[in-house]
Amino acid sequence: MGVTRSFFIALSKNQALNSGAKKWGLKLGAGKVVAGTDINSMMQSVKELNANGIGATIDNLGEFVRTKEEAIQAKEAILETLEAIQVYGVNAHMSVKLTQIGLDVDFAFSLKNIQEIVAAAARYDIFINLDMEDYAHLQQTLDILEALLKEYDNVGTVIQAYLYRSEKDIENLQNVRLRLVKGAYKESEEVSLQDKEEIDDNYLKLIKIHLQSSGYTSIATHDHHIIEEVKAFVKEKNIPLNSFEFQMLYGFRTEMQKDLAKEGYSFTTYVPFGQDWYAYYMRRLAERPQNINLALKSFVSK
């Protein structure tokens, strides 16, 4: 399983395959987990979620940005999506990767771009989540978050439970809206836990810490054992249901998503869309190897 995960993570970083995938359309089974390649098709998916009492966090997919021109194009696409959220009147916010808007080009340049995005979102009363990427980008992401929080309150980020430093980071961000995840990148044992059980234990620990802070908590997991433990914990501690939400990825455990919303829990689905879907999809295959059969069947059928 470890070899399979490493294989698909390596594929996710292949720029040649990523470029080719833009020409394929949503093939290899990607259409199951990516909500279309344009705003209109994605918004229809968001409307369906809203009809079931589920909100959305929208990710306008894009990776391998190496020039200012590419970063500006990505920024404009994100601003267009923000405007569409307002025009369509859907219950949604946005998740943004800082590398997509120039973090690997120039720090100050990317900060300027995200400031423009967060300012536009604030005018629409829309929240912006800074997606956390690999460990190499972690501190820069937190530095940008710190700069944004001096001026805006409609911004937060993601904390990954497999990193040793995450408990300290949560303590430093206890008043901030955070999405808590286990972690999807392959990191070294110097900076991250490697054992699944240890990661699960730390994940629950971090969830419980942030649930008892003043910051809103987004619990992003498909693990029903963790979900049940969270339910029991919030009931025991009388934690208000409006102080947290569950999150899952678009296309995964859709019936459970609906059931949790029906039970009265706030629920948000992570909705990726766009032509630049390849790297995102490879990481999903790395996390859930059972989807490989689906991808292979789709590939063979083409």
Q: pLDDT class for 276, splitting at 50, 70, 90?
A: confident
Residue 289 in this model has a pLDDT that exceeds 60 = no
Share of the chain above pLDDT 90, in %: 75
**Stretch 50-58: mean pLDDT:** 98
User: Could you confirm whether 131 is annotated as catalytic?
Assistant: yes
pLDDT class of 10 with cuts at 50, 70, 90: low
More confident residue, 165 or 19: 165
pLDDT tens, position by position, 230-273: 999 999 999 999 999 999 999 889 999 999 999 999 999 999 99
Active site residue 288: no
- Sort residue 149 into left (φ over 0), alpha (ψ -120 to 50) or beta: alpha
Catalytic residue (one of 59, 104, 177, 179): 179
Higher-scoring residue by pLDDT: 7, 77: 77
What is the per-residue pLDDT for 5?
58
Q: Which of 131, 169, 200, 276 is catalytic?
A: 131
